[in-house]
Structure 1
Amino acid sequence: MSAPHGPASGSLSPRAWWARRSPEAGAAVLATGILSVGLRLTGHEVLSLIALVLACGAWLVLAARFVTGLLWDRARWMAAARVPGALTAVAATAVLGTRFSDLGRHLLADALLALAAALWPALLIDVVRHWRRRGMSGGVFLACVATQGLAALSGTLAGAQTAAWLAYTALVLFWGGLVLYCVALACFDLRQLFEGAGDQWVAGGALAISALAGSTLLAADDTRLHLWNDDDRGVLRAVTVALLVLAGAWYVVLAVAEAVRPRPRYDVLRWATVFPLGMTAAATLAVGSAARLPWLRGPGQVLLWIAVAGWLAVAVGAARRCAGGRAGIRSTARR
């Protein structure tokens, strides 16, 4: 993921303004969707539904951009599909599916799982082919995020629908996502901690969604499925808790780096800061429930409201940028 380049938004034509809605903006859908999940876990159902409506609206806009680009601007679409940010489409779709499953809308969740699963291999292969050793931004971890998003949705549906095959599929995706994380870490440029425009936070967010996926596998075993024996469950529980601890460690490191070198100016990549904040909160709450660690609920609630504050701050920045861009478009049109 990289910051947008080119002329200022005020000089864009309406068509160019629409074309520059980059795939990284899918992080906004992901951030809002995971806040909806976290708010549900804390009992704030009305706020959760409001966040879900906003996430769905943004998802539909991005889906329209995806389809129109595929049909009428194939070259630009193919170029966009190669950047790591394209994988936010998979992760965001999976997170929305998880939330709809929580609402009992399993058919819709199944459809979103099918869509995310169809997009995942093509986008993942194209993105990974363009990885390079070292020197990459935090977007490199989106390969793990997308994979674990599928694992989390599959695990959630496995428990809801008593489908063992979905649980085993989720388990394969879970371990595969961890392998992708290790490879991505070798490609990540640690200087991004102090230089990144926002997506450096995905380094921690990828571990948080991995912990969330692990919690869904633990929860699925608590249903009538009885998937794992005591040893398997013990290993899965230990790995899930360890992932949450590592995600928390990244959270502290990234927060300190932000304090040492503040970057307050709005960038679309700041949505890639918000979703790890929300993901860490949701993972803390989910792991606390699935691993029977009730004391995690308090820290999870604190982290959730930090994520809500971050979402509001970035949303205000996005609204100002959008208003400035539209004003520039009207000015250009009058000339």
Structure 2
Amino acid sequence: MAALRPTGGMPPAGRRAFLADLSPAYFGLVMATGIVSLGAGMMGLPWVARLLFLLNVAQYGVLCVLYVLRACRHPRRFFGDMVDHLKGPGYFTTVAGTGILASQFIVQTDSVRVGFVLWAVAAALWFALTYTIFTAFTVKRDKPTLDQGISGAWLLAVVATQSLAVSSALLAARIGQPFRLELNLMALSMWLWGGMLYIWMMSLIFYRYVFFRFSPGDLAPPYWINMGAMAISTLAGSLLILNAPQAPYLVSLLPFLKGFTVFYWATGTWWIPMLLLLGIWRYVFQRFPFQYDPLYWGAVFPLGMYAACTWQMDHAMGFGFLAALPQGFLYVALLAWGLTFAGMARRIVRILRTPARA
């Protein structure tokens, strides 16, 4: 599980080493910033939402450049990580990050054309990565054992799938025919497939939890995706419920949509106390060092997504009594985002200063 453990202090290496070692999961930064921005916009903090949106556009552009440079200068590392059981699923953050940025353009700027282009890029990345990674995992000769090969990062495949469901539903709500019905069908299909994928993967992850030795280093931040995958599934289901008047086949499925949306939300809610207890065990009782790692964005994202999905579900289901819950989680997500961003900034400064010290 070493690939998912925090790296600790920055070794005496320069910018070239940073590029070679760039985490495949670094687009989690875009995922986390994007959903916190969307949540802030939902809950009456427009200036926070706007600031984070502009920052996210810049972050997305920088990461695209870095990933392309890594693929060109370090192709063995770049593509080798893609077929590694622990690192490979991290590439699904590129899909989820692109899909969430598409949702930001659609919701926060009404730029349907830009949103559509990003949605198309996310769909192409989803198709390429899904069938590349899982085919490679299936046919490769040397495979790790279950306890050494699976982690919560695998659920990034679910998040990527549901991000397409969310962006498809948002596009469908803002365009006319001939594509409205087709986009709603794609959103529905991705929502259903993401749920099935979660059941498959979560069964293996939970089995690994309770039947194999579990050390503090194994509890990497992506385990928060256990909750985040259900949260984004809830958000997608809520949007499908709101889109039902636009598509007759969604109207006929409304009881199913509402039931499974609440089911996803309840499952995600169950995970929160469990993950908090495991975090206390890791950092308090086992005294595991708390230092910045890119994987911590995989813990910030679920907090923001839970706030956003709870707000949207409360609206779609007409509950009216859950308003305080998403507000509280939004502020927790903003705090977690700020602390993680400060850690990232400090790490970048150290990297930039390394050649001078050498």
In the superposition, the TM-score normalised over structure 1's length comes to 0.92
Cα drift, residue 57 of structure 1 = 1.3
Cα drift, residue 113 of structure 1 = 0.5
Counterpart secondary structure, 2:303:
helix
Is 1:123 matched with 2:129?
A: yes
Residue in structure 2 matched with residue 296 of structure 1 by the alignment: 322
Cα drift, residue 252 of structure 1 = 1.6
**Equivalent of 1:244 in 258, 261, 265:** 265
Amino acid at match of 2:38: V
Amino acid at match of 1:251: I
Cα drift, residue 207 of structure 1 = 0.6
Amino acid at match of 2:79: M
Residue in structure 1 matched with residue 187 of structure 2 by the alignment: 170
CA distance in 2, matches of 1:266, 1:301: 26
Cα drift, residue 226 of structure 1 = 4.3
Cα drift, residue 296 of structure 1 = 1.8
Cα drift, residue 13 of structure 1 = 2.4
CA distance in 2, matches of 1:327, 1:211: 43
Contact 1:116 1:150 survives alignment (8 Å): yes
Residue in structure 1 matched with residue 17 of structure 2 by the alignment: 16
- Structure 1 pair 323–69 and aligned structure 2 pair: CA distance change class (3 A): closer
Residue in structure 1 matched with residue 141 of structure 2 by the alignment: none
Cα drift, residue 255 of structure 1 = 1.1
Worse overlay, 132-141 or 58-67: 132-141
Contact 2:36 2:333 survives alignment (8 Å): yes
Residue in structure 1 matched with residue 46 of structure 2 by the alignment: 45
Contact 1:31 1:272 survives alignment (8 Å): yes
Residue in structure 1 matched with residue 339 of structure 2 by the alignment: 313
Is 1:235 matched with 2:256?
A: yes
Cα drift, residue 24 of structure 1 = 1.3
**Structural mapping, 1:183-202, within 5 Å:** 183-188=200-205, 189-190=208-209, 195-202=218-225
- Structure 1 pair 302–90 and aligned structure 2 pair: CA distance change class (3 A): same
Contact 1:3 1:268 survives alignment (8 Å): no
Contact 1:10 1:326 survives alignment (8 Å): no
Residue in structure 1 matched with residue 196 of structure 2 by the alignment: 179
CA distance in 1, matches of 2:242, 2:82: 34
Q: CA deviation digits over 1:157-211, x for unaligned, max 9?
A: 1111141110001101111111111121133232669532211101110111111
Q: CA deviation digits over 1:38-74, x for unaligned, max 9?
A: 0111021110011111211111111112222334433
Contact 1:10 1:327 survives alignment (8 Å): no
Q: Which runs of 5+ in 1 are unaligned?
A: none
Q: CA deviation digits over 1:66-113, x for unaligned, max 9?
A: 222334433222123331110000001001111111121100000001
Residue in structure 1 matched with residue 94 of structure 2 by the alignment: 89
Counterpart secondary structure, 1:294:
coil
CA distance in 2, matches of 1:38, 1:158: 20
Worse overlay, 61-70 or 28-37: 61-70
Worse overlay, 241-250 or 126-135: 126-135
- Structure 1 pair 192–279 and aligned structure 2 pair: CA distance change class (3 A): farther
Q: CA deviation digits over 1:112-155, x for unaligned, max 9?
A: 01000011011112333427773211101011010000011001
**Equivalent of 2:115 in 93, 102, 109:** 109
Cα drift, residue 7 of structure 1 = 10
Counterpart secondary structure, 1:296:
coil
Counterpart secondary structure, 1:228:
helix
CA distance in 1, matches of 2:22, 2:68: 13
In the superposition, the TM-score normalised over structure 2's length comes to 0.86
Residue in structure 2 matched with residue 160 of structure 1 by the alignment: 174
- Structure 1 pair 45–8 and aligned structure 2 pair: CA distance change class (3 A): closer
**Structural mapping, 1:64-103, within 5 Å:** 64-82=65-83, 83-102=88-107, 103=109
Contact 2:15 2:351 survives alignment (8 Å): no
Percent pairwise identity? 29
**Structural mapping, 1:252-331, within 5 Å:** 252-262=273-283, 263=288, 264-331=290-357
Q: Which runs of 5+ in 2 are unaligned?
A: 139-143
Worse overlay, 211-220 or 66-75: 66-75
Residue in structure 2 matched with residue 214 of structure 1 by the alignment: 237
Contact 1:164 1:227 survives alignment (8 Å): no
CA distance in 2, matches of 1:235, 1:128: 30
Counterpart secondary structure, 2:22:
coil
- Structure 1 pair 18–133 and aligned structure 2 pair: CA distance change class (3 A): closer
Counterpart secondary structure, 1:248:
helix
Aligned residue pairs total 330
CA distance in 1, matches of 2:185, 2:223: 31
Amino acid at match of 1:111: V
